Structure 1
C-alpha cells in the first residue's frame, strides 16, 4: 500500500520558512533610515577628503604649473646678488583678467615657496585655481599706492596659510617680467570683511593721497572661517632689475 504524497495546500505554500519571519514594519523603516545615514556619512566623508586634501593637491599642481609657464617666458637670471635700487621702479602694465603676471615669494615660508599672482580676485578662475589674486582697483606692483592681493588660507593650495607668522621686517618679494620688488612687513591686523579700506591707497584712510609704495596681503580668518580677515601691510624697501641677479634672500645656500 503506497503512502500519501506530501501536502501541497495553498496554506503550506504561503507559510514562511522556520526562522525567517518577516520583520515588523517599524524595524524595516529603521533599517532603511540607517542605510541612508550610512550612505550620507560616506558621501560626507568623501566631501571632506576632497575639501581638505584633494583641492590642495590640485591647487598646488596648478600653482606650480603657472609659475613654471611664467618662468619660461622670462629671460635667464644669474644666481648672484643683484644691486638694490631705491630710485623710481619701471612702470608695470596691467594684466588681463585672470592672467598670471608675477610670482610671489616669502622667504620665511621656505625656499620652495613660489605662488603665481593673477589679475583679479574671481574665485573660479583665480583663487580656486591656485593663484594669488590682485585687486584690480589697487596699484600695480612697485607703484605709489597699495598693491593689494588676496589668497586662500585653507584649501586650493592655501597660499596664505601661514600669514599669521609674518612679523615686522620680514620680506615679501614679487617678481615680474621686469624686476624684483622687495617689500618689508610693517604691520598686521584682523578686521571685519566690510572694512575694505585696508586696501585703500593709504591703508585705513581712503581719503588720503598715497606717497609711498605699499603691499597688502588679505585672507580669511580664523582658519576654516570667513568671519574676519587677516591683513598684512608692507612697504617697498628696494627693487632689482630682473636680469641683474637675485634678491639676497633668494640666493641658493652657499652663494
Structure 2
C-alpha cells in the first residue's frame, strides 16, 4: 500500500493575502487623506479666521490710539464736507437737523495696502479696518475691508466702494445679508466719523456688474436697482451664496451725517 503525500496549495492563500494588503493600504490612504482634508478645513474655517481677527483687531487699536494721541493721520486726509445735491431716492432728513452735505472733492487715495479707516456696522457687530485696494494677500485675507481703487474716499461726493470676505480670513461681511434699509454704517477716519444709512440691497448679481460701484451706483444686470442723482454713497460688496464666489451681494447706503474729530 502506497503512502499518500499531502499537497499544500498556497496559491489561493497568497492571492487572499495580496487582496488583504491592498485593502489595508487603501484604508490607510483613505484615512490619511481624510485627516489631511480635515486639517485643511480646520485651517480655512478656523485658523485663518483667528489670524485675521487678531490682526484686524490690533490694527483697529493702533489706528484709534494714533487718532486719540493726536498723531498725524496717514494719507487720505481730506477737507471738510462741502456742497452737494442732498438726499436722493427716498433719503430723509435726519431728526433734528438738515441732511449731511458731501465733500466737494475727493481726498487723495492712500498707498495700496494701508489701513487708514475703521468700518463699523452695529447691526451685525462688525468692526474692521479699511485698507486701500482689494487684493487678497495684501488686504482681504488679513481680515481687512478693501477700498476699491478709483472710488470716492469716506465723506466725499461719489461712491465709497468697499469689499470684504464673507467666509474665512476674518469674514467681516459674513452676515451682510442681515442688513435692512434704515440700518446705519459708520466709517471713522483721522478727521471725522461718517454715518451712512442703508437705502437699497441687491441680494444677487453677476461679478461683472461693475456699475454697482459707479459714482451714481446702479445695476446693469438688474435695472430696477439704481440711484439717479449724485450724492455721497457707500457700497458694500461680498460674495454670495456663502462659501462660493458665483455671485455678488451689494448693499448701498447714503451719507447722513458727519462728525468732526
Q: Same fold (TM over 0.5)?
A: yes
Answering whether residue 135 of structure 2 is matched by residue 142 of structure 1, we say: no
The answer for unaligned runs of 5 or more in structure 1 is 1-19, 78-82, 243-255
Residues 117, 187 of structure 2: 8 Å contact kept:
yes
For residue 95 of structure 1, the aligned residue among 110, 117, 127 is 110
Instruction: Pick one of 39, 51, 70 that aligns with 1:58.
Output: 51
Distance 1:88 1:232 in 2: 19
Size of the aligned set, in residue pairs, is 216
1:197 aligns with 2:211: yes
1:164 and 1:109 map into 2 onto residues whose CA distance is: 9
Could you tell me whether the CA contact under 8 Å between 2:209 and 2:219 is conserved in 1? no
CA distance in 1, matches of 2:25, 2:98: 70
User: Of the two structures, which has the highest relative contact order with CA contacts closer than 8 Å and spacing of 6 or more?
Assistant: 1
| 8 Å CA contact 1:144, 1:210 repeated in 2 | no
> 1:223 maps to which residue?
242
Query: What corresponds to 2:192 in structure 1?
Result: 179
> Contact (CA 8 Å) 2:124, 2:175: kept in 1 or not?
yes
For the pair 1:26 / 2:19, whether they are aligned, the reply is: yes
Contact 2:119 2:188 in 1 (8 A): yes
What TM-score results when the alignment is normalised by the length of structure 1?
A: 0.78
C-alpha spacing 1:92/1:218, structure 2 compared with 1 (3 Å): same
Preserved contact between residue 147 and residue 214 of structure 1 (Cα < 8 Å): yes
Deviation at 1:93, TM superposition (A): 3.3
Give the TM-score taking structure 2 as reference length.
Answer: 0.76
Is 1:153–1:159's contact at 8 Å kept on the other side of the alignment?
yes
> What is the CA RMSD across the aligned residues, in angstroms?
2.6
Higher radius of gyration, 1 or 2: 1
Separation of aligned partners in 1, 2:192 and 2:119: 12
Q: Distance in 2 between matches of 1:49 and 1:75?
A: 38
Q: Which runs of 5+ in 2 are unaligned?
A: 1-12, 71-96, 221-226
Deviation per CA, 1:18-65: give whole Å up to 9, x if none: xx9896212211211111111000000111111111111111101101
- Per mean C-alpha deviation after superposition, the further-off stretch among 27-36 and 172-181 is 27-36
Distance 1:185 1:76 in 2: 32
Contact preservation (8 Å) 1:85, 1:239: no
CA 1:72–1:85: 2 relative to 1, 3 Å: farther
